[in-house]
Structure 1
Amino acid sequence: MIDVKNLYHDYAGNRQYAVEDVSFTIEKGEIFGFLGPSGAGKSTVQNIMTGLLKLQKGEVNYKNQSIRSVGSDFFNNIGVSFEHPNLYSKLTGYENLKYYAGLFKVAIVDPMILLERVGLKEAANKKAGEYSKGMKQRLVFARALINNPEILFLDEPLSGLDPSTGNKIKNMILEKKQEGSTIFLTTHNMYLAEEVCNRVAFINEGKIIAMDSPRNLKLKYGEKSVKVEYREENRVKADIFFLENEKDRFTFNQLINTKEIQTIHSQEATLEEIFIKLTGRGLV
């Protein structure tokens, strides 16, 4: 459905690329995660894909139509949630959604229904400038859904949210997938990516360094390990063994045969651990 080929972007015009030779495809109904730290190029790619940044080099195609030639039908069928909320601060939450809804030539979702779903019903008539950071983030997310979009672009949708509210937003993202929406998710939140994404791409310094399903990335790059708790000298001790390592395998078997075992748990690497392994840096 979405095909990005050999994408480059140079803000200063000095061949110092913020995005360099980025390629990927997204299937209809898929949640595709762009995982990387701040400044890695995630938002730049999203802004090019949504027409906010001019396409300099490469191709972005929707159903074989270039982003260069899309018209109003395209914009009527996408929703965008930005990491940094861009709201009309003197309008209420309800007025923000109502005004935005008027820009579309498609059926819209009732703003009050969306405000209730993201937990802002009681603040509907409060000016957006008086909202907290988390409330603004929820309002921007609700705004992205107002036109019931076929394609949804989400940039750090859980930023500034408490765990309970974040879980509510995560479930709404999964609902949109079940309804058939295609979702491009940019984030450094590896827990969100692991829970909702069909596939993820790791981007670092403007380049994609790995791309696959979260499970396949773990199988390919993660080290298989087990944590063993055992009793020794009237105390419970714990050791971790990497079973691909011959020495660890020997010690593990020896421990099993000689100690009083309390628990054994298999462990797998997280996406963040794999990202650090591939890049030498964290996701934040």
Structure 2
Amino acid sequence: MSNLLNVSASPHIRRKTTSSDLMFDVILALMPASLYGVYQFGLNAFLIIITSIATCVLSEYTYEKLMKKPVTTGDYSAFLTGLLLALNLPSTVPLWIPVIGSVFAIIVVKQLYGGLGQNFMNPALAARCFLLISFAGRMTTFTLDGVSGATPLAMLKETGETVSLTSLFAGNIMGTIGETSAIALLIGAIYLIVKKVISIRIPLTYLGTFLIFLIIFGGQGFNITFLLSHLLGGGLILGAFFMATDYVTSPITLTGQIVYGIVLGIFTGIFRIFGGSSEGVSYAIIFCNLLVPLIEKVTIPVPYGRGRKTA
């Protein structure tokens, strides 16, 4: 009888799909954006991706060996963390930046809290925010075809200038390695939805709430170009489909996922419209990660067979 019970940390698998299968599917879904990023930004982008992945995997292996814990590098979670971190970095950063970020993501955010399933926020995004705070200049310098410039969101916020929607959709713009091509990211997102790796619930609620916030507070009303520029520019699509949906740091209750998406949309809107930075997705997601226990507490369904008290 005891063999039928296995007490473990989340994520709890209720089908034959394993954690490594899920991680591998997300990695595959990120391949279009990764390949486009290398095509767009060249060799340094490729080296950043390889360095970030290798450092994450090596950090996890080394820590678990030193702590005499089971080695879990085979579940692809460290690989995925390294890839996500790299896609959130400018192609101009020196290689020691992804090294520092990867060690922080794996050791500080993931392993010190117990490993996969017990980290309290998305490791890749936590590392990106850490790098933004520590090395703001390097993390906000973008170059395309040898020319430095501002991202579309920065141009929109500072001067009101908009970039061609075609360029935003295709990806011929300034930005981090993995966030520029909306079509590449959407191809990966569709793959995850079709494979039922993620639900559309969080991304749809997130994006819908954010657009409503823009209409009300953006100062442009129902300006399609303005709305689509915010939707396609920056890390919104990457964050909504690939990081806000992280199993460990998002709510498991259906109502909680909707609440989570709404709060994400509101905070992203606040950071983008009223904040000092033109972006805001990373900070919005890790802040909402901290709210997940509270969201789950207030949205937990009534246990089957138990009624509510009546007056």
TM-score, normalised on structure 1?
0.28
TM-score of the superposition, structure 2-length normalised?
Answer: 0.27
Give the structure, 1 or 2, with the largest relative contact order (CA under 8 Å, sep 6 or more): 1
Greater strand fraction, Structure 1 or Structure 2 = 1
Higher Rg: 1
Larger helix proportion, structure 1 or 2? Answer: 2
